[in-house]
Amino acid sequence: MWSGLQIGLEDAFQILAMAWAYYYVFLFFRGTRGAQVLVGLALVLVILTGLTQVFSLNELNWVLRKISVFLGLALLVIFQPEIRRALAELGRQPVFVASAQKRNVVDHIVNAVAQLADQRVGALIAVEREIGTRAFQETGVKVDATVSPELLASIFFPHTPLHDGGVIIRGNKIVAAGCVFPLTQNADIQKQLGTRHRAAIGICEETDAVAVVVSEETGTISVAHRGRLSRGLNEDRLRRFLTVLLVKGQGDTAWRRAQVKLDLTPEGIAKADELAGQEDRSAD
């Protein structure tokens, strides 16, 4: 059965290239409105193609083959906003953000949070890591401004239009403000925690983001990560926490996680659990 099937080096390279392309297209559209359009279009094409094959609809099959020629142009028109935004971000942002820049972002966040805590102004800041937060960004207002303590403090100033929502930071940019984060459904969460704290835990359950919360009632600083909430942090502990998660652990985290997760042996699974525990203990 398999005697006539021969896959050479060139064929293997083409298969890997196509798999890589499909994977990153999926990541690009995941969490956007364009993803729903793409899924719907794919379902329609699959259903029509299947019907033409089952019922021998030759004319309809001919029409589908002709339409496929213009499908690429149609995709460019349908997904023009997403493609334009992606190209703009690619041209504007460097591939690797320097550690010094990340430390500056951490310092700006800590300074702003300390100021807000002293004044007992509520705040919710999520810092994006490896998993995108585009779906949550679209619930708020696009900002696209460099992170600074003054800007963060201004966003959360009481009675301003965006003070009730969350801020999302990617790299050294505030990409959106006034965002709605999902609330955690964990029944073990303490009942005295408010909406901001539940939203911080919620976005950390949906993504690998790090969320910083300032309580409006007490001025207490908390950090949510991996669905867990660390409360009662002072300025120094907050800086150490964010430095571990966003500066020291970010350079090789993706590669290390990919290597460990691909190992599904008991030893590999144990290493994955140990790596997650090390990150949490270092942050604490």
Cβ atoms of 136 and 180 closer than 8 Å: yes
What pLDDT score was predicted for residue 74? 73
Encoding tokens for residue 216? 């409006």
Which of the two residues, 59 and 72, has the higher pLDDT score? 59
- Which comes out higher in pLDDT, residue 121 or 61? 121
> What mean pLDDT do residues 192-216 have?
91
Radius of gyration of the chain from its Cα atoms, rounded to whole angstroms: 23
pLDDT by residue (tens digit) across 154-193?
999 998 889 889 999 998 999 999 999 999 887 777 677 8
Lowest-confidence range among 44-58, 71-85, 124-138, 242-256? 242-256
Question: Rounded distance, CA 123 to CA 181, Å?
Answer: 13
Query: Are 245 and 110 in a shared domain?
Result: yes
Residue 1's pLDDT is what? 44
Shared domain for 125 and 51, answered yes or no, is: no
Q: Are 238 and 258 in a shared domain?
A: no
pLDDT at site 166: 96
Enclosing domain of residue 242: 99-249
> Which candidate, 103, 127, 280, places its Cα nearest to that of 200?
127
Per-residue pLDDT at 37: 72
Report yes or no on 186 lying in a domain: yes
Q: Is the pLDDT of residue 268 over 80?
A: no
Residue 173 is assigned to a structural domain of this protein: yes
With a pLDDT cut of 70, the percent of the chain lying above it is 72
- Per-residue pLDDT tens for 83-119? 766 666 555 545 444 577 888 999 999 999 999 999 9
Q: Is residue 4 part of a domain?
A: no
206 lies in the same domain as 236? yes
| 176 part of a folded domain | yes
Q: Which of 216, 213, 157 is nearest to 183 (CA)?
A: 213
Please give the backbone phi and psi of residue 264, each rounded to the nearest 5 degrees, phi first: -95, 10
Asked if residue 2 belongs to a domain, the reply is no
Residues 191, 68 share a domain: no
pLDDT on residue 46: 82
Same-domain check for residues 53 and 151: no
Note the pLDDT of residue 247: 83
pLDDT digits (tens, 9 = 90+) for 27-60: 666 655 566 677 777 788 788 888 887 887 788 7
Domain boundary among 92, 127, 143: 92
Residues 123 and 85 in one domain: no
Claim to verify: residue 186 and residue 263 sit in the same structural domain: no
Tokens of 170: 């990617």
- What is the C-alpha separation between 248 and 106, in angstroms, rounded? 12
For residue 59, what pLDDT is reported? 80
- pLDDT computed for residue 64 by the predictor: 76
Q: pTM to 2 decimals?
A: 0.58
Which of 51, 77, 79 lies closest to 64 in space, CA to CA? 51
> Which CATH number belongs to the domain containing residue 242 in this structure?
3.40.1700.10
User: What is the model's pLDDT at position 137?
Assistant: 94
